[in-house]
Structure 1
Amino acid sequence: MKEITPKEVAERVKSDQKVSIIDVREDEEVAQGKIPGARHIPLGQIEGRLHEIDPSKEHIMVCRSGGRSGKASEILKEKNYEVTNMTGGMLAWEDNVEE
């Protein structure tokens, strides 16, 4: 599984690279703040919402600590999506968040 550090994700967001970030945490977790521009799709809804995920783009998966996003990455990878898991999750995120 491909991985990326929170710092690398922050650099991509700040440099205005067209990056797709999918936050798979639950609603109450996301309410505490998410990476600017990230799309919220809880892990349990991933397979039912595949139509919302562009198969032609790379997607960075994010959760609280890196575990659920790893599972989401595996689900999407099996369906031939290009995915990268953010290591450490939001616990390791040291940059700006949006609510």
Structure 2
Amino acid sequence: MGSAKSWAIPVGVLAGLCVVCLAFIWWYIPRLYNRGIQSDMKRVQVDKAERAREAAAMREANGESIDLEAGDAAVVTPEPAKFKYTPPAYTAY
């Protein structure tokens, strides 16, 4: 058989498998991570838009008029109720 060691072929095959696995992980994990980040960002945008629609609906139900599509996001505060002070009747004892 010559001078080849009996462990050289199995170690070479194992090293080749390790290199292939490392290359696959090096390619797949960042791809999977970026895909997860993008799906999270889309979900956050959908949730944010839904909260904005709910807030606009609540403002409209309370009598405020805001056009959310036109970008009118300023909070319109209604006029505060005016306090009318009526002093008690003067009584001299």
When Rg is computed on C-alpha atoms for both structures, the one with the higher figure is 2
| TM-score strictly above 0.5 | no
- Structure-1-length-normalised TM-score: 0.21
Taking structure 2 as the reference length, the TM-score comes to 0.22
Q: Which has the higher contact order (CA 8 A, sep 6+)?
A: 1
